[in-house]
Amino acid sequence: MKVLVLGGDGFCGWPTSLHLSDLGNEVTIIDNLSRRNIDIELEVDSLTPIRPIGERIRVWKEVSGREINFINLDLAHEYDRLVEILLAQRPDAVVHFAEQRAAPYSMRSAKTKRYTVDNNVSGTHNLLAAIVATGLDISVVHLGTMGVYGYGWSGSAPIPEGYLTVKVPTPDGDIEREILHPANAGSVYHMTKTLDQLMFKFYAQNDGLRITDLHQGIVWGTQTPQTERDARLINRFDYDGDYGTVLNRFLMQAAIGHPLTVHGTGGQTRAFIHIRDTARCIEIALANPPKSGDQVSVFNQVTETYRVRELAELISEMTGVEVANLPNPRREAAENDLNVSRDRFLALGLSPTTLSEGLLTEARDIAKKYADRADLSKIVARSVWRSGMETAADLMH
Ligand code: NAD
Ligand code: USQ
């Protein structure tokens, strides 16, 4: 299969590109390297020493014999070039990872809010409009987020995979309808994913585009069987207060003996998935696209749910590092339950990688190996959801 991976230089995109290439697919990465530029802006770097994209691709050719192409393109602002690329490449499928994905970064300032909306919404819309303009039959697999559903909207009922059956009272009695699950975003970043959903619905309905939207939970781990094949293929490992996600942050903090930065009580329950399963889920989604005229095919791409404090306690027991309860810089429920339907990937053959001591230790060991690259001043989260909110960083001064 000929696949374009948009955002293929990122944390999920790079290992997925290698996985798809390893399976014999013809892969082209499209990325504007904006994530690497944001590292420069934030004066932080991946804990792992990631290599420039050209070197990554050369090394992959060396170790696998397989070719991956790279095109530097800004999906949000280079529409005409995107159309030309689609017409020249005629891909069977596009995997769309190319968005600004950090909730804290999206909440830093009016500038980052506007950048996140402009980048994510325009990028997704450019892709959809370009596919229609070319008239090509290209299936789209997009990375959405569990955060589109919000936390706690439907009480203890499991969150369905995209669609909710509701009863609408009418004078002639109740009628049943299937609707997109109501959106309930917790950050400007998450809001852009809820807007993506509406664009997908329209283009599937109006133009018959074949779209799969994967509502992924928080990804943890760093290496996959492909990125492990050479040190120069290593994946990113974000640990900073904006881009580091909770479980990887705790593993990195444990590796350097930093107290585990639990926001508030740690009663927040979230969904998780290991990076190896991200790549495998994309493979499954690509093999099972909807037909033209079908509604958007939505999967919940998660394997487990945990409370933040459960993860902190687990890692603290494993390593002896203490847990710190910090003021929560976000506006979010202090405690929530989360019950998620996840049958579709299981039915299509996903064998979930669950949180095991072995994998936790593997990720912690990587963090330990590169601990001298860490800038400790970047660990505590500083981005607040509303001005006036106090952070642990304020308390330290
Ligand atoms: P990332 O920031 O590491 O990678 C995103 C990549 O997209 C980067 O390489 C960036 O340079 C590129 N990009 C961004 N805007 C672009 C543009 N306008 N044009 C071209 N390239 C652009 O993020 P990630 O963690 O790999 O996440 C990938 C996708 O998966 C995102 O859409 C994210 O919302 C989703 N997701 C991630 C997680 C997670 O825990 N990391 C969880 C759920 C969903
Ligand atoms: N948290 C802590 N301590 C930390 C970091 C985070 O307690 O040091 C808490 C946060 O307050 C939040 C939870 O952990 O309650 C998750 O935060 P996170 O930064 O790990 O994840 P989130 O902001 O939700 O975003 C990440 C990805 C995003 C993706 C999302 C999936 O960055 O791209 O969409 O996970 S989900 O959470 O399922 O919506």
Q: Which domains does the chain have, with CATH numbers?
A: 2-395 (3.40.50.720)
Nearest C-alpha to atom 32 of ligand 2 is from which residue?
Answer: 102
Q: Is the pLDDT of residue 162 over 90?
A: yes
Confidence band of 67 (pLDDT split at 50, 70, 90): very high
Instruction: State whether residue 139 is helix, strand or coil.
Output: strand
- Reported as a single tens digit per residue, the pLDDT across 203-237 is 999 999 999 999 999 999 999 999 999 999 999 99
**SS percent in the chain: helix, strand, coil, step 5:** 40, 20, 40
Q: By mean pLDDT, which of 105-114, 154-163, 167-176, 287-296 is the weakest?
A: 154-163
Catalytic annotation on 193? yes
Find, among 261, 243, 371, the residue nearest to 315 by Cα.
261
Q: Is the pLDDT of residue 388 over 90?
A: no
Confidence band of 358 (pLDDT split at 50, 70, 90): confident
Instruction: State whether residue 365 is helix, strand or coil.
Output: helix
Q: Is the pLDDT of residue 332 over 80?
A: yes
Q: Which helix (H) or strand (E) holds 274?
A: strand 269-274
Ligand 1: distance of its center to the CA of 135 in Å? Answer: 27
**For ligand 1, is residue 38 a contact (CB within 6 Å)?**
no
Integer distance in angstroms from the first to the last C-alpha of the chain?
Answer: 55
Q: Is the pLDDT of residue 397 over 60?
A: no
Catalytic annotation on 79? no
Nearest C-alpha to atom 11 of ligand 2 is from which residue?
Answer: 263
